[in-house]
Amino acid sequence: MLKLSLISVAVASSLFLSGCQTTEVSQQTKDVATNNSVSPVVTTPVDFGGEQITLKQAMAHPDWLGRQPESAFWGADSDTIYYKRKQAGNELRDLFAVSNKQKSTKVSLAELHAVGAQNAIYNSDRTLQSYEFKGNIFVKNIESGDLTQVTHSSAYEYAPQFLTDNRLAYRAGNALFAVDLKTGLTKELVKLHLADKPQGVKEPSGYIAEQQHKLIQFVALTHKNSKDREARAQEIDTKNASIQSNQFYLGKGKALVSVSLAPTGDKLIAVITDNKPSRADTDIMPNYVSQNGDIDPVKARRRVADTEPMSSEIIFIDLNRAEQVTLSYDTLPGFDEDVLAEVKRENAEAKGGTYNSKKVPRDINLIDTWGWNQSAIRWNSDGSQVAVMLGAWDNKDRWIATVDFDKQQFISQHRLHDNAWINYTYNDFGWLNDQNTLYYLSEQSGYSQLYLKPLNSKAKAMTAGKFVVSEPTLTSDNKFIYYKANKEHPGLYEIYRVNLETGQDEQITDLDGLTDYQLSPNEQQLLLTHSKIMMPPELYVADAAPKASVSRLTNTVSDTFLNKKLIAPKIVAVPSSHQGEPVYAKVYYPADYQEGETGKNRKAVIFNHGAGYLQNSHMGWSNYFREFMFHSLLASEGYVVMDMDYRGSKGYGRDWRTAIYRHMGKPEIEDLADGVEWMVDNANVDRGAVGTYGGSYGGFMTFMALFTQPDLFQAGAALRPVTDWAYYNDPYTSNILNRPDVDPIAYERSSPIYHAEGLKNKLLINAPMVDDNVFFQDVVRLVQRLIELEKEDFETAIYPVEPHGFRQPSSWLDEYRRIYKLFKENL
């Protein structure tokens, strides 16, 4: 059993505002600045286990941890919970069922179709559930448990949807169907064609053709017969209800992005874009260790520098009237603003030129949000209104717009503008049930918060404070919205609910860690996935009410793991010398550390987490579990280890996120420098014996630290690192640095390859060769640059079979042996 100890955290909790915030956003940020100050105390477990962890064990296949539950979801009965668990020794997963009434049992392969799905949908009175399994549609009666297979074909049918007339709609290819669940009759509602509309029988055109019809009776008669047949076919389609004639043509050379049918089944929104290739033939990645011994030219993504502008067309289709219209964006506020005018002017002047701003319609698409499972097109319950979330291709605006069906135009309900970039998460939105009121998340206050907005009326904030709200879930009676938030401390995530009538906010869980949730279909219970710093995630269940008791459903952590001696990190708030908020960090103190010791003789390492926009100094189990054990090993040998949520990390609000806009690698390294100072002042660390390392974004940070502040660290290891942001992907990079053709200044000051001349201390570069995220080419180009600069203090290790995330334990072990050796020999 784990014991808990209180760890004091020195926190300065004033709200930091960056100059990039708009006036509207800044004012709302100011309004919440006095709310919800961070608690100065958090809890972390003490060290446990008696057997020393070894580097080989830490880097072994994670099966030894116990194979934790994955992809859990509720069954339709609101009692059974299903989850996947990896098989030992291979990559296959089994499905298990568990509840408070029964222990975990494996679901047979023959019954996989019968259990439901995480994205299952329900009819309005919650008596029926529908889902897709392996391309077929199923419907389950919740009370009786009876299961009906609606489709059974080789076609891939998906996206089931209950309609207001009790039929079930689904999609197959570019067609939508509706089935009457009582009679079994299936009707094709619409077929969308990515082609130009056929012209039918054409009249003779041109002098020669006209004379041919006038002079040759056979030609004229043949033409008349063709017209008669066409007219009769159209008349039959119109007058005979047994025939389906809803065919719509969206244009040749187009790609279908999304389709959303109204719950009434009589209208839909279709989104199309130009059907351009997503990559060039030259976008390849050589795999030198292929299955057949040849060099395999693996297809790879396009670079941000090669990306072309993309815009979408939003088409409203009325099935009853057989009409379609493309909705214009010109009713959206700011649709033609030159939002990058100052950036373009700065870059033009740097080249000795000038820039004259002008208004031009911007490229606009459905919002591209990472990680959500909802559509960017949301219909209200009765199909009378639809809301669409749109995003500008330049990443500066997000709109929630409804559609005036009579005027056939957008009505903007909410515009979120950010001079840096719109977040690619915290974009959940929808309608209250049976009402014309929207709910949505927005960072307009500086933090993701929940809002309600009746159509064409003022929005109301339902939550407010210096914390992040995510994963809203509306109850069917519109009484509550449940959500996850880090109110008590940036690293503590609990589940809350807000009463939409009274505004009363209630805390549901108090588990002290990292907690995710799913509301049961009957909305009476919560399925919780909960972890702590020292304990991997397990499944729990609790009533969906405050102060409810929590029952544990799974216990998969292995005794081998529990017996390992691991050092628990402390969560500290490192004062910043560059802005008002502290930088939260995990600190692993040496096993023999004595509080108040002096002598400045401790060695230290700072770990830089990847992704940039990721939170790792939280109170839950980390995806960096190998690094956690490596840090514990280092601490057992006398090192102080720090793991910082530098500026740009997730969980700390909009201003923290956008602090790196147009200059990646500057605020983060300033934060690392503050971390070094803190360890010198508070952990007896020798300033001249500090190293750093990290992978992906963390590898990029290692480069920027060693290149731009060469005296800060005595050694560094860059793993799978970015060296030139122009070579990275567009969705991530263009948010932060705009695009290279628009903002080369941002790319050149943010890319390590432009600063390599600053290297003077030991550098280890570890590079996987089949990395389709950060290309091996990044490292190759930087190594050549270092050679040409005649740098001597660097080494490179390559991993021929590894992608971005290593898969082979032998590769993990080799990589961390080299890192361990680097620090042993140079600190």
Per run of 10 residues, the mean pLDDT along the chain (length 827 residues) is: 31 26 33 35 57 96 97 97 97 95 94 96 96 98 96 96 97 97 95 92 89 89 87 82 82 96 97 93 93 95 95 96 95 98 98 96 91 89 97 98 95 98 96 95 98 95 98 97 97 98 97 97 98 96 95 95 94 96 96 89 97 96 97 97 98 98 98 98 96 98 98 98 97 97 98 98 98 97 98 97 97 98 98
Check whether residue 96 and residue 228 sit in a common domain: no
> Does residue 93 form part of some domain?
yes
Strand partners, 716: 692, 763
Check whether residue 214 and residue 84 sit in a common domain: no
Within 8 A by CB and 6+ apart from 224, the residues are none
Contact (CB, 8 A) for 730 and 763? no
> Does residue 13 form part of some domain?
yes
pTM of the model: 0.92
Check whether residue 174 and residue 107 sit in a common domain: yes
CATH number of the domain at 581, please.
3.40.50.1820
Strands 186-193 and 247-249: parallel
CA 273/CA 257 separation, integer angstroms: 7
Report the C-alpha dihedral over residues 147, 149, 150, 154, rounded to 10 degrees: 160
Check whether residue 638 and residue 776 sit in a common domain: yes
Counts for the chain of helices (H) and strands (E), in that order: 14, 48
DSSP structural state of residue 207:
H
> Does residue 144 form part of some domain?
yes
**What integer pLDDT is reported at residue 47 of this predicted model?**
61
Check whether residue 184 and residue 59 sit in a common domain: no
> Does residue 378 form part of some domain?
no
**What integer pLDDT is reported at residue 48 of this predicted model?**
65
How far is residue 478 CA from its own chain's centroid? 27
Check whether residue 60 and residue 79 sit in a common domain: no
Within 8 A by CB and 6+ apart from 429, the residues are 378, 387, 389, 400, 438, 439, 440, 441
The tokens for 602 are: 């401790």
Within 8 A by CB and 6+ apart from 386, the residues are 260, 262, 269, 377, 378, 379, 380, 402, 403
- What Å distances lie between residue 463 and 39, 415, 427, 450, CA to CA? 18, 19, 15, 6
DSSP structural state of residue 646:
-
Check whether residue 10 and residue 111 sit in a common domain: no
CA 160/CA 157 separation, integer angstroms: 8
CA 804/CA 770 separation, integer angstroms: 8
> Does residue 682 form part of some domain?
yes
Strand partners, 640: 604
Contact (CB, 8 A) for 9 and 573? yes
Check whether residue 103 and residue 212 sit in a common domain: no
Check whether residue 167 and residue 212 sit in a common domain: no
> Does residue 307 form part of some domain?
no
Domain residue limits at 696: 4-65+560-826
> Does residue 162 form part of some domain?
yes
Supply the Cα-derived Rg of the chain in whole angstroms: 30
**What integer pLDDT is reported at residue 505 of this predicted model?**
97
Check whether residue 61 and residue 8 sit in a common domain: yes
Contact (CB, 8 A) for 693 and 718? yes
- Given 215, 239, 263, the domain boundary residue is 239
**What integer pLDDT is reported at residue 786 of this predicted model?**
98
Overall number of domains in the chain:
3
Residue type for 561, please?
Answer: F
> Does residue 680 form part of some domain?
yes
Check whether residue 580 and residue 690 sit in a common domain: yes
Check whether residue 673 and residue 570 sit in a common domain: yes
